[in-house]
Structure 1
Amino acid sequence: MTSHKAIVSGISGRYAVALFELADEAKALDAVESDLSELKAMMEESVDMRDLVSSPLYSREQQSNGVAGVAKAAKLQGLTEKFLGVLAANRRLNALGAIISSFEKLLAHHRGEVKAEVVSARKLTKKQLGDLEKKLKSAVGHDVAIDASVDESLLGGLTVQVGSRMVDDSLKTKLNNLAIAMKGVQ
């Protein structure tokens, strides 16, 4: 495998590499991926969870107890639970979102996948995601892991980012471009 340093960097990268190597050694990459995906969803949906991981007002002990409770309630793997404990003990829970992103990059590289960030105006169906994945795979030449999200302000269409390439086919951008063009006509 290529050096992990070429894929991720910084504090979040170091923690992600450590977790990745431990999970790989324990043959638990899929389980840890599932746990991290669940944690990511919790942080997006719960204000309390975001506060727990990001607020400096909580002591180490409070953060440790909080993430231990979350891990037990969510039935996370022992490795993920211990990892969260280490983050809390080292006062690095605020980097959890970045660590999850770095772990996802490492895992995609390990699997030979390229990650595509897709933002749509409405939630895409499984069929739409499957069709998009096939088109992206043929365009990129690698398996593609899609990270889909919704931004209603796009009004319609999609934005797709694969690596440094971005395609913005959203109605919002088209309307903005039209408005700029119309100002030039006056």
Structure 2
Amino acid sequence: MVNVSIARRYARALLDVASEAGRVDAVAEQLSAFAQAFAKSPELTDVLLNPAYTRTQRSQVVEGVMKALPGGADPLLASTLRLLVDRNRQGYLPDIARLFGDMADARAGRVRGQVTTAAPLSADALAGIQKSLQQLTQRNVILETRVDPSLLGGVSAQVGSILYDGSLRTQLEEMRRELKQH
């Protein structure tokens, strides 16, 4: 079981240092890319988590992945990743990346959300939904889009823990429940 408080401490420390340097967004982007690289590759994950590999081997793999990042890894991120390997905390990397992103968004007054539609949205429609959600939440909303044909029509948006469901599927389901009651 992963101790999230350890991941939170590393994420907070990296956020504080990146804030002082004015590079929070760049570090967040690179940290996310780094964590995704390991999540997508079972071989890389094995090197990080398997005790059969030495600290030197892990360090070499981490250095190689950092060099593969576009423009190379930010020095702040590089030193944090080296520290994780030195202290055998590399297993916390996915949680650190997630928590760092959440903390950076909170500090910047942003919230992330997901919009699900039955068909792809035009840029204007997405901008309108984003503006409405910003007015509802009083925060800057960054949206990801997803297409799910099972919605039949309408829009379902989740921002933080709040779900705004205006999908045709949900409306039909509510009508079905009401008709069953009568």
Please give the TM-score of this superposition, normalised by the length of structure 2.
0.72
Q: Secondary structure at the match of 1:91?
A: coil
Gaps of 5+ in 1: 1-8
Give the Cα separation in 2 of the matches to 1:138 and 1:120. 20
Q: For 1:42-101, what per-residue CA distance to the aligned partner results, in whole angstroms no more than 9, with x for missing partners?
A: 244333333344444433222211111100121111111111111111222111111111
Matches within 5 A, 1:42-61: 42-61=37-56
Q: For 1:90-135, what per-residue CA distance to the aligned partner results, in whole angstroms no more than 9, with x for missing partners?
A: 2221111111111111111211112324566787675554343222
Decide which structure has the larger Cα Rg and report it. 2
> Aligned-pair distance for 1:19?
0.4
Identity %: 30
Conservation of the 8 A alpha-carbon contact between 2:18 and 2:76: yes
Is 1:62 aligned to residue 61 of structure 2? no
Residue 4 of structure 1 is matched in structure 2 by none
Residue 133 of structure 2 is matched in structure 1 by 136
> Aligned-pair distance for 1:27?
2.0
Residue 13 of structure 1 is matched in structure 2 by 8
Give the Cα separation in 2 of the matches to 1:88 and 1:125. 44
CA RMSD of aligned residues (A): 3.4
Q: Which amino acid is 2:21 matched to?
A: A
**Alignment length, in residue pairs?**
171
Q: Secondary structure at the match of 2:141?
A: strand
Conservation of the 8 A alpha-carbon contact between 1:55 and 1:94: no
Gaps of 5+ in 2: none
Please give the TM-score of this superposition, normalised by the length of structure 1.
0.71
